[in-house]
């Protein structure tokens, strides 16, 4: 189980660094954060992906909140801002890493 826990953490780091790297490239190329909502609906493919990620983030948030209510693992709430500020690729493995700590 300890190897799997390390894998969750490695995936969380990758899930944070990789998307933020591309966001940094967008911003350094003259893009603005205010431009992002318009780009999320640039075409049907991007709109579908945006909705997919928003639905996945909502489901992960509900799962996290319901599990925290039962398990009282308050540190798992860190996955909520991680999910909504960075993305599901960071929030989900971070939540699994926090959830898999020895009890």
- Whether the predicted model's global pTM rises above the 0.85 cut: yes
33, part of any domain: no
What's the pLDDT score for residue 51? 96
pLDDT along the chain (103 residues), means of 10: 90 96 94 91 94 96 94 92 96 95 77
Burial 20-50 (b: 16+ CB within 10 A, else e): eeeeeeeeeeeeeeeeeeeeeeeeeeeeeeb
83, part of any domain: yes
What's the pLDDT score for residue 2? 81
What's the pLDDT score for residue 42? 92
Look up residue 71 and give its two tokens. 């398990």
Q: Which long-range contacts (CB under 8 A, 24 or more apart) does 95-100 make?
A: 95/60, 95/63, 95/64, 96/8, 97/5, 97/8, 97/9, 97/12, 98/73, 99/67, 99/71, 99/73, 100/1, 100/4, 100/5, 100/8
**What is the domain extent for residue 9?**
2-28+44-99
38, part of any domain: no
Task: Look at the chain and report how many structural domains it folds into.
Answer: 1
What's the pLDDT score for residue 82? 97
What's the pLDDT score for residue 73? 87
> Could you give the CA distance from residue 89 to residue 14 in angstroms, rounded to a whole number?
8
Angstrom CA distances, 67 to 4, 53, 70, 74, 89, stand at: 20, 21, 5, 10, 19
């Amino acid at each position: 189980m300890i190897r799997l826990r390390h894998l969750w953490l490695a995936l969380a780091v990758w899930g944070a660094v990789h998307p933020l790297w591309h966001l940094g490239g967008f911003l350094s190329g003259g893009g603005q954060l205010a431009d992002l909502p318009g780009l999320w609906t640039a075409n049907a493919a991007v709109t579908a992906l945006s909705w997919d990620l928003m639905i996945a983030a909502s489901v992960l948030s509900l799962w996290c909140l319901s599990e925290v209510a039962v398990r009282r693992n308050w540190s798992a709430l860190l996955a909520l801002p991680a999910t909504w500020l960075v993305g599901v690729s960071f929030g989900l493995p971070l939540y699994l890493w926090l959830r898999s700590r020895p009890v």
